Amino acid sequence: MIQNAMPEHVQSRLTDYARLLRIDRPIGSLLLLWPTYWALWLAGDGSPGIGNIIIFTLGVFFMRAAGCAINDFADRDWDKHVKRTKDRPLTAGRIQAWEAVALFAGLCLISFLMVILFTNTLTLYLSFGGVILAFIYPFMKRYTHLPQLFLGAAFSWAIPMAWAAEANELSQLTWLLFTANVLWTVAYDTLYAMVDRDDDLKVGIKSTAILFGDADRAIIGVLQTMVILILVMVGHRAELGVLYYLGVVVMAGLFGYHQYLARDRAREGCFKAFLNNNWAGFAVFAGLVIDLSFS
């Protein structure tokens, strides 16, 4: 009813803002959310504070949206040459560059205020690193073939922040989770980059998909194996039980499925493999929560 009462141009603007912030495509938020929850539940020994759950859930969605805005700002001149992105609102001129920057700054400010008001000093200090990583990642594809590594660091920075907010300290487990998630992010974002590889080569955008070349699937497989091994180490150090390991086994099985989907390196298969990583992250989270609830 409210939407129908809005003028058409207002509806159109809101739709474009939603597309800029990827509100219609929550996969990035979910891939960021599960590892954040891993950290909260482990740091909270299975019972994280409801306040931290709310803060970091909102923070995940706000910062992912902010990242999308600054990403499209950085890529606004290149996206028009890529089949998948040429109709994005900023590239198509329906949204101005300054609006994307303003949205990035506003969403970062909201997230920063939540940290200041509702967490502790250690989390506050760590939040500066998160903002820096979110800002610099989109520009890395101009200078290095490893932008996926910077994305991995940006997507993983919520882990030490969530851990610090819950436990007011960091531990070896924190950095094991961080490392596992960086490697996982590089793996699944390489699958994502394989979708655009042909277009990226034409316009000069760098990525791990281009760097790895014909060894892409093999290297992704190595990264996926390392993720599983590190998560097993996490389970051992945290003295977790069989239900957690069952979640890790499910993730490993899904990794094998991703290799199958990407076997021909076709755009559709690689994109499906990328999207399916959501279930891999959820499997580990579900196993962790159920295991801790029975311990």
Digit-coded pLDDT (tens) for 57-102: 999 999 999 988 888 888 777 666 666 667 778 787 788 888 889 9
The residue type at 167: A
Above 90 in pLDDT, residue 20? no
Q: Residue 277: which of 258, 250, 256 has the closest Cα?
A: 258
Contact (CB, 8 A) for 30 and 94 = no
Mean pLDDT computed over every residue of the chain:
91
What's this model's pTM, rounded to 2 decimal places? Answer: 0.92
- Parse the chain into domains and list their residue ranges: 8-294
How far apart CA 175 and CA 153 sit, in angstroms, is 11
Which pLDDT value is given to residue 1? 46
How far apart CA 75 and CA 138 sit, in angstroms, is 8
CA-to-CA dists, residue 8 to 4, 15, 17, 93, 140, angstroms: 9, 11, 14, 18, 38
Residue tagged 């069989």 (tokens) = 242
Q: What is the mean pLDDT of residues 254-268?
A: 96
Min mean pLDDT across 7-21, 140-154, 223-237, 253-267 is at: 7-21
Q: Residue 134: which of 63, 200, 190, 196 has the closest Cα?
A: 63
Q: What is the mean pLDDT of residues 290-294?
A: 94
Digit-coded pLDDT (tens) for 173-207: 999 999 999 999 999 999 999 998 888 887 788 89
Contact (CB, 8 A) for 36 and 159 = yes
How far apart CA 184 and CA 178 sit, in angstroms, is 10
Q: What is the mean pLDDT of residues 161-180?
A: 97
Contact (CB, 8 A) for 278 and 191 = no
Enter the tokens of residue 58: 């909102």
Contact (CB, 8 A) for 101 and 70 = yes
CA-to-CA dists, residue 274 to 71, 123, 194, 279, angstroms: 19, 30, 10, 10
**Distance between first and last Cα of the chain:** 49
How far apart CA 264 and CA 120 sit, in angstroms, is 48
How far apart CA 197 and CA 36 sit, in angstroms, is 29
CA-to-CA dists, residue 265 to 57, 134, 164, 259, angstroms: 34, 29, 40, 10
Above 80 in pLDDT, residue 250? yes
Enter the tokens of residue 13: 């603007």
Q: What is the mean pLDDT of residues 21-47?
A: 94
Contact (CB, 8 A) for 237 and 176 = yes
How far apart CA 149 and CA 216 sit, in angstroms, is 15
Q: What is the CATH number of domain 8-294?
A: 1.10.357.140
Enter the tokens of residue 77: 């001149």
